[in-house]
Amino acid sequence: MQEVQIKAPKHEFTLLCDDIRQEVGGKTSLMGLYDHHIVVPQVGYVLPKVCFYTRFSRMDGQFKFGFSIVAPNGDRKDIIRDSDVQIPDGAKEGTFNVIASPFEVSAEGIYEVIMSLTKGADRFEYVYKFAISDAQRLQAEWEKSQGVGAAN
């Protein structure tokens, strides 16, 4: 009997944005695209939503999909837990639109998105990272570097 080896799905990309909209004609529009970095007015801020547009290739058949966000302090929020996903016959790609709403910013630093795909006994995990910074802290650091507020 020949052993069949499952090839892991490949994480192609994740895009971070304010909104994902399904348009007439099947198009997807991404609004307010971030470059892996969000600046909030202050820590303790609540964003109405944060959206993730993620594409995987080398997929086929049935999977369970999970999506969690881990804050810099280690707090983990499960957004999707073991959702059934069926890739249509002949297709080899899967695109996932995940919305975290509301999104509470509890700390500055690097947030980790942990995506999991499970097929039978095989579980694959992927990590996407993005940063959140406090605008008040950034402004204060800039002013200090420029000598703003210091006696001349």
Q: Give Cβ neighbours of residue 1 (< 8 Å, ≥ 6 apart).
A: none
- For the chain, what percent of residues have pLDDT higher than 90? 74
pTM over 0.75: yes
Per-residue pLDDT tens digits for 61-107: 899 999 999 999 999 999 999 899 988 888 899 899 999 999 999 99
At 150 the three-state DSSP class reads coil
Q: Tokens for 90?
A: 């002949």
